[in-house]
Amino acid sequence: MPKRPAHSSIPAVRTTQTSEITTRASASSADSLTYDYDLIIIGCGVGGHGAALHAIEKGLRTCVLESDVVGGTCVNRGCVPSKALLAATGRVRDLRNKMHLASMGIRVGDVDFDVEGIRHHADQLVTTMRTNLSNSLESVGVDLLRGHGYFVDNHTITYELPDDKGGTITAKDIIICTGSVPAVPPGIQIDGKTVFSSDDALKMSWLPPWVAIIGSGYIGLEFADIYTALGSEVTFIEAVDKLMPAFDGDIARMANRLLIQPRHIDAHSGVFVTKVIPGIPNKVPVKLELTDAKTGEAVDTLEVDACLVATGRSPYTDGLNLDALNVGLAKGGAISVNDKMQVLAKDGSIVEGVWCIGDANARMMLAHAASAQGISAVENMTGNENVLNHLSVPAACFTHPEISFCGLTEEQARAEAEANGFSIAVSKTSYKANSKAQAENEADGMAKLIYRSDTGEILGVHIMGLHAADLIHEASNAIAANQTVADLKFNVHAHPTTSEVIDELIRNAKFTAPELAADDSSAHADAMAKKTFTH
C-alpha cells in the first residue's frame, strides 16, 4: 500500500506480536502448524475488509496487513469523503434554488456556507467509517498488522515500517488488494494546491473561482457538481470527441442537458492536455496547453485558477516484490488474474496460493466490486467454485440528479449482438409519470433497459434521476441471479415510490420466446461474466 503521511486523528491499529502468532498456530490443527495463518490479506480497503469478514465466516484464521490506514482509497480519499462533500454542497444548491422551493410554497433568504465546515463534515465521516471498519474486523478475530508487505515466496510475507522492525508471516493463501493511485498523464505538474488529483481536491483547502477538470467520468462529474454548487466556474477538458464517453449515449445526452448546460459549464472535447503549469492560489493562474487529439497540433491555451486531474486511476503494486513470483502484469501495471481471482504468472499459469482483487487487477475499479471479488476469491480458496459476474456489479455517480447503471451500454450491447448473432431491444421510461418524483418536483430523469429480444436476458440497465443510485440494485441483482425480463414482471413495487420507474421499465419490455430464457440467457450470461468491462 502507498506510504502516506500519518494522521493524528487515526485510531491506533492493534499490532499482533510474532509470539502471539506462534502460540495461536501451536494450538491449532495439524495443517495450521505449517503456516501462521490460513489467509493473509495485503491491504485493508473495502475489498480487503469484505474478504476478511467472509474468510472468518468460512472459518479461516485471517490476518490483514496495512501500511497506511484502514479503509483504503474509498474510505479515506474516495467514495466516502466525496459523498460527504456532495451531500453538503447539494444542500447548498437546493437552498439556493429559490424558484424550485417557491414552486412548493417555500421562501428562503440568502444561503451562505463555510468551506471549513463542509471539509470538517467530510473529515468526521472518514474518521467514523475508518473506526467502524477497524472495530468490525477486530470484533470477529481478524489480526490487523501494520507494515508495508512484500513477497518472499507465494506463502511468505515480510512486512516493515520505517519506525518498526516488522516481521515475517506465512499463510496458505495470500490476497493482494493494494488498490490504486490517481493516474496523471505526462506533461502535467501536480503541486497539490492549484493542480491536483481527486486525493487533494477532497481536502477542500480553498475554493478556486474557476476550475478546469481534465476528464469527464465519475470523478470529474461529481467534482463539477461540488464546485458549481459553491459558485465556482467549471471547464471540462475531454480527450474523446464527446463528454462522458463511457456512459450510455442516452444518459450522456440527458446528463449534458441536466448537469452541464444549465450550470454554464464550458467544455473542450477531442483535445489532450499536453502541458500544465501550476500557479499560486488567488495570485498566479494555472496554464494549460491543449492539443488536438487527432492531429497533434496545438489548438488552445487556457488560464484558470485551478486544475483537477480526473483521468482515472492506476493499479498500485509497487514494493510487493512480484518478480519473486514471476507475476504477469497487464496493461497499466494491473496484476493478471483468472476468473476466480487467482494470480497468473507471465506464462499464464496459476501462481499457487496467491490471489488479487480490486483496483490492483483493474477488472472493475469500484470499491464494492473489490469486496465482491474478495468474497469470490475466499469461496474459491475454500473449495466452492465461484465466478463473479461483473455485469451484475452496479455503478453510481452521485451528481444531482444521480446516475446509475449495470451491465452493457446500448452501444456495447449492439456490438455484442452483432458479433454473436442475436438481436436486442430497448425499453425506456421517464420520471415524468412518477408521482413520487413529481411530489418532490424532481421529475427530470429517465431509465432504460437493454435486453435480448428473443430470450429476455437483461444486458444492461441505466438510470438518471431521483434516487437512481438506490434503484439500480433491483436490476443488478436480477442480472446476478440470471433473471429475465419475464421474471421481473412479477415484482411488486410500493406506491408511490421512485421504484415504480423500474416497474414501468419492465412492463414496457417485450420479447418473443420466454420459454428459451432459462437456458440461452444463462449460457450467454456465463460467457459475458468472464469478460473485463470498463465503466
115-134 burial: b if 16+ Cβ within 10 Å, else e? eeebbebbbebbbebbeebb
Look at the block and give the residue holding cell 493516474: 183
User: CA angle at residue 36 from 342 to 29, to 5 degrees?
Assistant: 100
**Annotation-wise, does 407 bind a ligand?**
no
**Annotation-wise, does 48 bind a ligand?**
no
Is 7 catalytic? The answer is no
**Annotation-wise, does 217 bind a ligand?**
yes
End-to-end CA distance of the chain: 24
DSSP code, position 311: S
**Options 155, 467, 495, 535, the catalytic residue:** 495
Across 18-155, where does the E strand assignment appear? 37-42, 62-66, 143-146, 148-153
Residue whose C-alpha is closest to residue 393's, from 417, 374, 367, 415:
367
With 0-12 / 13-18 / 19 or more C-beta atoms within 10 angstroms meaning exposed / middle / buried, residue 238 is buried
> Pairing mode, if any, of strands 306-309 and 210-214?
parallel
**Annotation-wise, does 457 bind a ligand?**
no
**Annotation-wise, does 332 bind a ligand?**
no
Whether 2 contacts 316, CB under 8 Å: yes
**Annotation-wise, does 232 bind a ligand?**
no
**Cell numbers placing 512:** 418473443
Contact residues for 77 (Cβ-Cβ < 8 A; gap 6+): 198, 199, 202
**Annotation-wise, does 238 bind a ligand?**
yes
**Annotation-wise, does 222 bind a ligand?**
yes
**Annotation-wise, does 493 bind a ligand?**
no
With 0-12 / 13-18 / 19 or more C-beta atoms within 10 angstroms meaning exposed / middle / buried, residue 287 is middle
**Annotation-wise, does 311 bind a ligand?**
no
**Cell numbers placing 261:** 448546460
**Annotation-wise, does 340 bind a ligand?**
no
**Annotation-wise, does 221 bind a ligand?**
yes
Look at the block and give the residue holding cell 494549460: 288
Rounded-to-integer distance, Cα 485 and Cα 508, Å: 10
**Annotation-wise, does 371 bind a ligand?**
no
**Annotation-wise, does 521 bind a ligand?**
no
CA-CA distances (angstroms) from residue 513 to 415, 450, 508, 527?
A: 22, 16, 16, 21
Annotated binding-site positions for NAD(+) = 215-222, 238, 312
Give the annotated binding-site residues: 83, 149, 178-180, 215-222, 238, 312, 359, 365-368
> What residues are labeled active site?
495
Q: Which residues are annotated as a binding site for FAD?
A: 83, 149, 178-180, 359, 365-368
